[in-house]
Structure 1
Amino acid sequence: MGGDLADVRVWASELDAVHGRFVHRFSRSEPRESALAYMRGLIAPLQRKNGWTLAEEASHGGPDRIQRMLNRIEWDADEVLDDVRRYVVDNLGDQDAVLIVDDTGFLKKGTRSAGVQRQYSGTAGRTENCQIGVFLAYATGRGRTLTDRRLYLPTSWTDDRERCRRAGIDDGVAFETKVAMAKAMVHRAIADRIPFRWVTADAAYGFSKCWRYELEQADVFHVMATTRHDTVVTRWALDHPVHDLFPGLPRQKWKRRSCGEGAHGRRVYDWARVEVRPWHREDRRHWVLARRSVSRPEEIS
């Protein structure tokens, strides 16, 4: 992992501090020790991470102790998440922080894992047999981490209660869209008084006018990607397609800016914005922001 011995000691000490935040959630010493071993394994430089490799890293004879901690010992994952979230706020909390909503896929072979089915996975870039998790990340100038999560259950699961029971899913768990999950996580962050200034998400979430309206009603600033088929209110029309706002803009309206380093160097684009909903509120302004490829100017997001 790099670094010298002093760095390693700092990491070990801080890991113990994180563990100390939620160790009281386990009633016996064995799951407490297994939880710490599990955390150490997750940050270890292992090529593959599963029950066997994490057990090896912890010098266990097999994966039973860690699997028992994850599968059979009673503890409340949401309570532990609350403890971790408070740790995040204590160390990274910032009034200018950004909440980032996104989902990711976990490739699976079988049919028994909760929520698994053939569905699009951003991780694989195609439709695969996988689970989908919706996540909320917290980003500040001092660092970034995940602070909330939901497992997406397709209707192929929620319409089959016996299948849900076999996977340990309670009968009270109903179908929720990914947007509804994202809303719930942001509402929870607001209710828990997590300090932040912006919410951002890709077009799978930003295309929801309903959610954008709810964020606006809560006075939450947001930058949400959307699709070219979305419409907005302008001075000229009530349902103006967003893709029609930019082709006729004068050249000087486009500003060349970098959005940071990428895998192949700095990511430079041309950017422009057009004000929309001009009569809504005097103290709040709304914009459609466009990003245009420098080498292929016909490509506008």
Structure 2
Amino acid sequence: MTPDEIAVVRGELETFAAEVFEPFARNDQRRWGQVYLRGLLTDGQRKSVEPMAARLGEDGNRQALAHFITTSPWDPAHIRAKLAWRMEEAIGPDAFVFDDTGFLKDGTASACVSRQYTGTAGKVTNCQVGVSLHLASDHASAAINWRLFLPQTWDPASPKADADKVARRPACGIPDDVGHVEKWQLALDMLDETRSWGIEVPLAIADAGYGDAAAFRHGVQARGLNYVVGISSTLSAQPGDAVPVTEPYSGTGRPPVAKYPDKPQSVKELVIAAGRKAARPVQWREG
């Protein structure tokens, strides 16, 4: 890029940062928030403060950046709301997309690190997992809300608590009232928060990590949204033409609940029973 092009891009970035970081209470927070954002966009795999500061030249004040990240108090909800409003205008979203991402870690000092499955590596490995909500359209998407997943090993109230991990909670800045919450519930919590900002999208999309949870599907439906979710072939269901029946009611006690007469089958069994002719192709765009 030419110097003039670099100046234009930097000006646009500074304008964006000034808008998104406007809720910061202090000028120094706004300044170092902008510097940190530029640091994230610099070349280099490592995004921790020390190597980032080395790449930032005259703005590479490691101590100031570390202070901004670790001890500078600010409400992230206000920043996320600002970002969400900006992205809604830019993208014109057709759907909320729920996903999670693994952040691979070599050590054990980072908050919520545990051996757990992540699609990032395609296996169980040492990592953090972040749950995210994205605004998406056919041409663009952006994450506008996210939560760090806290495994049961980090929750002192869980029977699976790990004493060493629980002991690291204060050093990691994890509040006492934060415990393990399933990923699908974090997704619904983010959906509620995002809608409280005035952002309404009629469709929710998620993979089988969320689609397999009936409570997630019911939660999305109860909020008035349609959904398209992946499910595992082992998930059980009733055929589309199955009709629940109610046993005769004598008029005393609690009325019986309608039940399906036959046991549910796995989705794989239902697909095989329907046959190849019942299938129809669904085409997704490249990318």
Alignment of 1:154-173 (within 5 A): 154-159=151-156, 162-173=167-178
Paired residues of 1:18 and 1:84 also in contact (CA < 8 A): no
Task: Tell me which residue corresponds to 1:29.
Answer: 27
| Counterpart check, 1:102 vs 2:107 | no
Q: Distance in 2 between matches of 1:8 and 1:247?
A: 57
Q: Distance in 1 between matches of 2:2 and 2:270?
A: 54
Q: Distance in 2 between matches of 1:197 and 1:259?
A: 20
Paired residues of 2:18 and 2:30 also in contact (CA < 8 A): no
| Counterpart check, 1:147 vs 2:144 | yes
* Matched pairs, number: 258
In the superposition, the TM-score normalised over structure 1's length comes to 0.76
Structure 2 CA distance for partners of 1:23 and 1:255, relative to 1, 3 Å: closer
Task: Tell me which residue corresponds to 2:56.
Answer: 58
Task: Tell me which residue corresponds to 2:270.
Answer: 245
Structure 2 CA distance for partners of 1:166 and 1:51, relative to 1, 3 Å: closer
Which protein is richer in strand relative to its size?
1
The aligned amino acid for 1:223 is V
The aligned amino acid for 2:11 is S
Task: Tell me which residue corresponds to 2:228.
Answer: 223
Task: Tell me which residue corresponds to 1:79.
Answer: 78
The aligned amino acid for 2:12 is E
| Counterpart check, 1:203 vs 2:208 | yes
Alignment of 1:126-145 (within 5 A): 126-145=123-142
| Counterpart check, 1:258 vs 2:276 | no
Deviation at 1:232, TM superposition (A): 2.3
The percentage of counterpart residues that share the same residue type is: 27
In the superposition, the TM-score normalised over structure 2's length comes to 0.80
Task: Tell me which residue corresponds to 2:194.
Answer: 189
Mean CA deviation greater in 157-166 or 106-115 = 157-166
Deviation at 1:151, TM superposition (A): 0.8
1:40 to 38, 41, 47: 38
Task: Tell me which residue corresponds to 1:291.
Answer: none
Q: Distance in 1 between matches of 2:125 and 2:276?
A: 43
Deviation at 1:35, TM superposition (A): 1.3
Q: Distance in 2 between matches of 1:151 and 1:55?
A: 25
1:213 to 209, 214, 218: 218
Q: Distance in 1 between matches of 2:138 and 2:272?
A: 35
Secondary structure of 1:24 counterpart: coil
The aligned amino acid for 2:268 is H
Q: Computing the radius of gyration over CA atoms, which structure comes out larger, 1 or 2?
A: 2
The aligned amino acid for 1:261 is E
Paired residues of 2:155 and 2:179 also in contact (CA < 8 A): yes
